[in-house]
A and B are shown apart, each in its own frame.
Chain A
Amino acid sequence: ELKVEQNPLFLSMQEGKNYTIYCNYSTTSDRLYWYRQDPGKSLESLFVLLSNGAVKQEGRLMASLDTKARLSTLHITAAVHDLSATYFCAGEETSGSRLTFGEGTQLTVNP
Chain B
Amino acid sequence: GAGVSQSPRYKVAKRGQDVALRCDPISGHVSLFWYQQALGQGPEFLTYFQNEAQLDKSGLPSDRFFAERPEGSVSTLKIQRTQQEDSAVYLCASSLALIDGELFFGEGSRLTVL
Q: Does A41 interact with chain B (Cβ within 8 Å)?
A: yes
A96–B105 CB distance below 8 A: no
A42-B108, A101-B44, A104-B41 known; A96+B102 contact, CB < 8 A: no
Partner of A43, one of B44, B45, B97, B105: B105
Bound form: Cα–Cα A44–B103 in Å: 9
Contacts of B105 in A (CB 8 A): 42-44
B31 and A98 form a contact (CB under 8 A)? no
Q: A43-B43, A103-B41, A104-B41 are in contact. Are A98 and B106 (CB under 8 A)?
A: no
Contact assessment for A96 and B98 in the assembled complex, using a CB-CB cutoff below 8 Å: yes
Interface size range of chain B in the complex:
20 to 34
A41 neighbours in B (Cβ, 8 Å): 107
B100 touches A96 (CB 8 A): yes
- Is residue B101 contacting chain A, with contact meaning CB distance below 8 A? yes
Q: Which residue of B has the minimal Cβ distance to A104?
A: B42
Give the residue name and chain of the A residue nearest to B55 (CB): A97
Q: Do A95 and B99 touch (CB < 8 A)?
A: yes
Give B90 Cβ to nearest chain A Cβ, in Å. 12
Chain B residue numbers with a CB within 8 Å of A4 are: 42
* Selected contact of A42 from candidates B40, B102, B106, CB within 8 Å: B106
CB B43 to nearest CB in A, in angstroms, measures 5
Tell me whether B59 is interfacial, beta carbon within 8 Å.
yes
Q: Cβ of A42: which chain B residues have Cβ within 8 Å of it?
A: 4, 91, 105-108
Give the residues in chain A near B108, CB-CB below 8 Å. 42
CB-nearest residue of chain A to B95: A96
Docked complex Cα distance between A88 and B105 (Å):
13
Contact assessment for B33 and A98 in the assembled complex, using a CB-CB cutoff below 8 Å? yes
Q: Does A64 contact B (CB under 8 A)?
A: no
22 contacts between A and B (CB under 8 A): A4-B42, A33-B103, A42-B105, A42-B107, A42-B108, A43-B91, A45-B104, A48-B102, A88-B42, A96-B31, A96-B97, A96-B99, A96-B100, A96-B101, A97-B48, A98-B33, A98-B48, A98-B59, A99-B33, A99-B43, A101-B42, A103-B41
